[in-house]
Structure 1
């Protein structure tokens, strides 16, 4: 028996929600904003736009589908199913946040404020959603590898980090490996058959999707290394501010990893961390002597 399709609506709390959590009343929130040259009316307008967008997207879901909503901070506790269609209402960063928890589910990035947030990952206005879901609700073509496997979409490369104890973390933009307080991290870096002991501000390993962000600024400073595209099965990596000393080197500071290639990092600091797409709270912790292997993830983000 075919499983019931479920639409999962992903969103994040609005600025107004967070202000009211912090300041308790609208009056206090308004005073706080006024001291910073802003108005409560502007924040309320954006809140209403986001709320209306979520309601419109939810109303577009067919009656024979299930519907679930999940807030950004609960993503690591939410169980996605293979038959889910993931509707992300927010900015590019929210799509990146949810990507690491998915395994070939179809993702639709929706702009809650028409024309404001359209970008690399958020590609559709709220008005497009009904038509998109209508096309998906039509008889499915091809069961293949799972529901909606025949739907035409971009399959964006992701990066993964795996610890020697089996823990794994993925990201759609980039991974950072370094000291949790961004002090100097000490480790042995292995790549392309070579190895070097280093002390640095950490490593950035980026996909082609992330190559327009943090990675782009580093590449620019290094002379404009050519970076992979979003669907290329390749990653760019950079060591930040490597420090030369009698026991640490600076000869292995950048490169490109193809499919099957990997960086091997062995910690020589008491504590290092690995996190992806700016979500520092969701991270791997690496202790002295532990090994981290970073490469192209088997999973990809299926983005409509």
Structure 2
């Protein structure tokens, strides 16, 4: 017997829900906001729009289909099925949050608050969701594939991200490591061929074309656009070392570059403890200790964004 399609609705708690959870009651949350010069009405209105969009998305799922709902904080523990259709109801960043847990399932991004979000990844309104879900279940509809970045540690730990992977100190203090490319070549003058370059910095960013509008773009702008940032679907990544520190023992000659598919950036830890996390989710990180290596490059997995 063939199972009915399953739609997974992904959402995150609103600011209003987080405030009520922290302060105990809506009244206490309103008092806290007023003490900070903010209006509870604005926060409640955004919560209402989010709840309305989520209810509309649930109503768009055909009655004879299976459905599930997962909040962002529970994504690391949720088991996606290969045939799922994923509907992300919220902001662009929520699509990035869920992408790392998928393996080819189609994603529909639904803008819960039109006018406040850029709408790069959440492109659709809730009233068009029903048709998109049916098209996805039939394997139809226009699909845009977006490149993802992966980090693979030498002990088998693996991390995926849609925007970028950060490797550095968990407290964003000085990280010490050795950096090179997998074939031993340097992307900039000054790196020691074969062994890489010893560095002390605020960490390393490796980002996709999708992430080129965020954290990586900030690093790119700060140093005057030294490389061409990849397009979202291009099988290439841009990488940047943040605030590399020159010293007799550490260099700054290997601080940015582009990784084409098949080429890897190799970072060998020379600190007691570093982490690698993706898309800002520090709670779901690779733990790296002195002497470990992590390889970063284009992932075989790609985000399949519908519409």
Asked whether the two chains share a fold, i.e. TM above 0.5, the reply is: yes
In the aligned structure 2, how far is the partner of 1:132 from the partner of 1:94? 19
In the aligned structure 2, how far is the partner of 1:246 from the partner of 1:115? 51
In the aligned structure 1, how far is the partner of 2:93 from the partner of 2:142? 23
Which position in structure 2 is the counterpart of 1:241? 243
Shift of 1:109: 0.7
- 1:173 equivalent among 163, 169, 189: 163
Instruction: Report Cα offsets for 1:156-188 as digits up to 9, x if no partner.
Output: 000000010101001000000001111111111
TM-score using structure 1 length = 0.94
Q: Secondary structure at the match of 1:9?
A: strand
Shift of 1:114: 2.8
| Gap change, CA 1:183 and 1:175, over 3 Å in 2 | same
Shift of 1:12: 0.4
Shift of 1:64: 2.1
Which position in structure 2 is the counterpart of 1:28? 28
Further displaced range: 163-172 or 128-137: 128-137
Q: Does structure 2 retain, via aligned residues, the 8 Å contact 1:6–1:83?
A: yes
Shift of 1:268: 0.5
Instruction: Report Cα offsets for 1:118-167 as digits up to 9, x if no partner.
Output: 42211111122122224345xx3xxxxxxx3x542110000000010101
In the aligned structure 1, how far is the partner of 2:113 from the partner of 2:239? 34
In the aligned structure 2, how far is the partner of 1:97 from the partner of 1:271? 24
Q: Does structure 1 retain, via aligned residues, the 8 Å contact 2:85–2:133?
A: no
Instruction: Report Cα offsets for 1:260-283 as digits up to 9, x if no partner.
Output: 000111100000000010111110
TM-score using structure 2 length = 0.93
In the aligned structure 2, how far is the partner of 1:269 from the partner of 1:136? 46
Which position in structure 2 is the counterpart of 1:282? 284
Q: Secondary structure at the match of 2:258?
A: strand
Shift of 1:28: 1.1
Which position in structure 2 is the counterpart of 1:204? 205
Shift of 1:294: 0.4
Q: Which runs of 5+ in 1 are unaligned?
A: 141-147
Matches within 5 A, 1:1-304: 1-136=1-136, 140=138, 148=139, 151-191=141-181, 193=184, 194=193, 195-224=196-225, 225-304=227-306
Instruction: Report Cα offsets for 1:224-268 as digits up to 9, x if no partner.
Output: 131000000000000111111111111100000000000111100
Further displaced range: 273-282 or 191-200: 191-200
Instruction: Report Cα offsets for 1:103-126 as digits up to 9, x if no partner.
Output: 000001101123332422111111
Shift of 1:2: 3.6
RMSD of aligned alpha carbons = 1.2
Q: Does structure 2 retain, via aligned residues, the 8 Å contact 1:174–1:205?
A: yes
Q: Which runs of 5+ in 2 are unaligned?
A: 185-192
Q: Secondary structure at the match of 1:257?
A: strand
Q: Secondary structure at the match of 2:176?
A: strand
